[in-house]
Amino acid sequence: MSLTLYVDSIFASPWALSVFVALTEKGLPFTVETVDLESGQNKLPAYRDLLPTTRIPALVHDGFALSESTAIAEYLDEAFPAPDYVALLPADLRQRARARQIQSWLRSDLAPVRAERNTETVFFQHPVEPLSAEGQASAAKLLAAAERLIDGQHLFGQWSIADTDLTMMLNRLILNGDPVPERIKQYAAAQWQRPSVQQWLARHQPQ
């Protein structure tokens, strides 16, 4: 079995983090290859021929290449199912649908938070300006949803990859000093300390 994960060269993609955590939580052996997005390495023939979408993250499993982190998570759960491997999504049908909903929402909404608190401010502690009015409204929307969704230490009673994705979005605010309710801070702090996440953080280089 061969598994290769392609990520951005500075390890700042939240969706590459998501797939890295997914593979690590499942206990699968994999190698990591970096792609320099700033120089356009992802658009060169070597990568474009492998993955026509030219996006990262990408997973190559025994010659089969796949991009989009949610698609990769679902593929991994089907290729390496529970109980032999850790499940990335809840077993319950409706909870699994809800987890997918949360993942889709985090990737398609909240643009002001993603723009004003980009991932480099999370991973490399770059200074930020106060949130704009649009940013504050987006942050309020995120926190209101998190208040309703978080159930104790996890979203669905036990860990799922949606917890990692939500924590990454929350940490755009928390790690930049924006006001966040204490209960949400505690949830995010516990998720951020998972060994799989810490392994990703250990790969960062100062920027």
Token look-up 């949360």 returns 102
Q: In angstroms, rounded to a whole number, what is the distance separating the alpha carbons of residues 176 and 161?
A: 23
Bridge partners, residue 8, by sequence: 35
3-state SS of the chain: helix, strand, coil percent to 5? Answer: 55, 10, 35
Residue 79 identity (one-letter amino acid)? A
CB proximity list for 50: less than 8 A, separation 6 or greater:
58, 60, 65
The full DSSP string for 30-46 is -EEEEE-TTTTGGGSHH
Q: What integer pLDDT is reported at residue 205 of this predicted model?
A: 60
Predicted TM-score (pTM) of the model is: 0.95
CATH fold, domain 93-196, is Glutathione S-transferase Yfyf (Class Pi); Chain A, domain 2 (1.20.1050)
Q: What integer pLDDT is reported at residue 151 of this predicted model?
A: 86
Write down the domain spans for the chain: 3-86, 93-196
Tell me whether strands 3-8 and 31-35 are parallel, antiparallel or unpaired. Answer: parallel
Residue 151 identity (one-letter amino acid)? D
Residues of the chain with confidence (pLDDT) below 50 = none
CATH of the domain spanning 3-86, picked from 3.30.110.70, 3.10.20.30, 3.20.20.80, 3.40.30.10: 3.40.30.10
Structure tokens at 53: 């979408």
Q: What integer pLDDT is reported at residue 126 of this predicted model?
A: 81
